[in-house]
Structure 1
Amino acid sequence: MTETATAEQVRAALAEHADPADAVHLQRFFKTGPGQYGEGDVFIGVRVPATRAVAKRFAALPLTEIGALLDSPVHEERLAALVILNNRFAKASKPRTFDEAARAEMVRFYLDAVRRGRVNNWDLVDVSAERIVGPWLLDKPRDLLFELAGSESLWERRVALLSTFAFIKAGDASTTFAVGERLLADRHDLIQKALGWMLREVGKRVDRELLTDFLDRHAARMGRTALSYATEHLDPESRARYRAMR
């Protein structure tokens, strides 16, 4: 597709893959009922592979049109918007097509969407934070992550944690630890799971001893879910020892 592509064209392409039966399942899975974290989110029943295929067709969609999709009440349209944004950011980050100004613009655009509540479910955060905010900050101060970690918004806090995945993949555990320490007392299930997941990835991808050092210092303050996720790949004796510290 060319730069003349529109959000309406993306909507129409997604609608071709909609399945009402899947929509009902997704509404339940993503907790869209009253008082749940995804309250009010609307699904049309498009599966993720189909959403990604549509996003690939509209790789050159302008930011204004991506913004129109992010403002949609339909979850799959927001997901498609983020996948397109991911792909654009990745292209602007490659040596042959590197464009720092474009990268900066996309980060500002993304953070605005996050703060306006348009990146508002765990899958939307997880598909985008480590691919946009994380890579952007690899050679920059981490203050933004600490700001997000201190937010009242569940989704901003999860963005802070998931963004550190980019650092983990680059061999750096310190950023995950610094953000994680700020969220040790956060007992929301989606933060607990994200914290434990990122800590587990430190042990898996960077250094298991760094993980156990962190747990030695902080396991007593961690929630049960975060600790369970973080210790998943440790031996049974170690897992039991850390559980006993709580």
Structure 2
Amino acid sequence: MDASLVAAVETGLAAAADPAKAPDMQRYMKSDMPFFGVAKPQRAALVKALFQAHPIADRTTWVDTMAALWREATHREQRYVALDLAGHKPYQRWQDVDLLPLYEEFIVTGAWWDYVDEVASRRVGPLLRQDPDTIAPRLRTWAKDDDRWKRRTSIICQLAAKQATDTDLLTDTIEANIDDPDFFLRKGIGWALREYAKTEPGWVRHFVDTHPGLSPLSRREALKHLAQ
């Protein structure tokens, strides 16, 4: 890993910390892990400078550095930076299906929407489109997993897919969770359908009409921008 980058992230976040904001941020996110109190715009500026100052030369170092930022985090923003590093444009050539176990770790140990939604839509989703034969079967397994965040990921990972949406996969992951009362699953189902309705409103309308078991929340979200 790039130990100098990991250390610089902690030092930079500590220097930018706002102790007055930190408790409110922690309370809003219902987080056991404390915050430094660094808002997203300030974090983005810091990350840009640090990533420029500490370029990573190889894939192994990049992966190990992401993992270290995540696993060694004492404050929530350090894990946000791990996700920022995962999405850093110069390193996108290293994205491949071998990253799925690490992203799965982020999902399971992060276990909250701020982490999970980022990983699902911006990391797992692109991997699905890159190698559907490998990733789609894994997502069908995740859709029935005991972990609700893996299940949510399987449902919302295609938010940005538009015309490339695998509707069979979307159907399978929703149907596997349609009876679950969990708020985050019901909200995720509605969100996934609402986004796809921007591309194929007729498909979504038909799906809703033929799935009376959808919760009122999922149905309302799915039809939010369609004529009632």
TM range (shorter): 0.7 to 0.9
The equivalences for 1:145-224 within 5 A come to: 145-168=139-162, 170-204=164-198, 206-218=199-211, 220-224=212-216
The answer as to whether partners of 1:42 and 1:73 remain within 8 angstroms in 2 is yes
Q: Which residue of 1 aligns with 2:82?
A: 81
- Say whether 1:19 aligns with 2:11: no
* Contact preservation (8 Å) 2:3, 2:65: no
The RMSD of aligned alpha carbons is 2.4
5+ residue gaps, structure 1: 33-39, 93-98, 239-246
Aligned to 1:70: 70
Q: Which residue of 2 aligns with 1:44?
A: 36
User: What's the TM-score once normalised by structure 1's chain length?
Assistant: 0.78
Distance 1:123 1:23 in 2: 16
CA distance in 2: counterparts of 1:228 and 1:87, whole angstroms: 35
- Measured in 2, the distance between the counterparts of 1:90 and 1:225 equals 38
1:230 to 208, 222, 228: 222
Cα distance in structure 2, aligned partners of 1:191 and 1:41: 24
Q: 1:57 to 1:91 in 2, by over 3 A?
A: farther
CA offsets per residue over residues 126-176 of structure 1, 9 Å max, x none?
222222211111132311111111122222122212212243363544432
Aligned-pair identity (%): 27
- Seen in structure 2, the aligned counterparts of structure 1 residues 5 and 129 have a Cα distance that, compared at 3 Å, is farther
1:27 touches 1:42 (CA, 8 Å); kept in 2? yes
Deviations 1:195-224 (A, max 9, x none): 1111001111x2100000100111x21222
Specify whether residues 51 and 44 from structure 1 end up closer, same or farther in structure 2 by C-alpha distance, changes over 3 A only. Answer: same
Looking at structure 2, the residues matched to 189 and 84 of structure 1 have their Cα atoms a distance apart, in angstroms, of 30
Asked if 1:54 corresponds to 2:46, the answer is: yes
CA distance in 2, matches of 1:89, 1:111: 23
Uncovered stretches (5+) of structure 2, i.e. residues with no partner? 57-61
Aligned residues: 216
Q: What secondary structure does 1:42 align onto?
A: coil
> 1:4 deviation in Å?
6.2
Provide the C-alpha distance between the structure 2 equivalents of 1:89 and 1:191, rounded to a whole number of angstroms. Answer: 33
Partner AA of 2:68 in structure 1: A
User: For 1:87 and 1:179, how far apart are their aligned partners in 2?
Assistant: 29
